[in-house]
Amino acid sequence: MKNRLYIGFAISILLVLTGSILSYVTFKRQTRESEWVQHTYEVITQAQRINRLIYDMQVSGSNYRLIQDEKFLDPYYATKPRIAPAIAGLRRLTIDNLAQQRQIDTIETDINRLVQYWEDLGTRIPIEYVFSHQLEVSFTEGKYRKPRTGVFFRW
């Protein structure tokens, strides 16, 4: 009877230890996955910031070309220097992923071409042409969208 009691006690301790170990491993895994989810949200948020900067620049330039009032260029010039740091921040967030780094290189090149395109527009292009060539920029993962200017943005 005494041996059976010890065996039952040992089995119950073994079950508690096994449950504790499994719980610990599960919590560690969930913590790791939670960190990856958080990281993914940071990358998406940074990409959306870049998207918003481009949109703000586009609206500012379009308003200037429509109304021909220089005050509408203030947001354009205030936003332009914020693009490079935003891209650098996105690059830092994705330093561990070579494929994303290549995509950021492409995005950076395309954004530079886009900004140059807007600056080349200036006031010498008719307003009708500007409105027929507005841009759609998408950093949605896995989606490709061709802006009306022919510049591709992919994320």
Reduced DSSP (H G I as helix, E B as strand, rest coil) percent helix, strand, coil of the chain, to 5 = 75, 5, 20
Residue pair 151/135 in contact (Cβ under 8 Å)? The answer is yes
pLDDT value of position 117: 83
Query: Which residue type does 127 have?
Result: I
pLDDT value of position 82: 93
CA distance 70 to 140: 33
pLDDT mean values, one per 10 residues, the chain (155 residues): 89 94 94 91 92 90 82 86 93 90 91 84 48 44 42 37
pTM of the predicted model as reported, rounded to 2 decimal places: 0.64
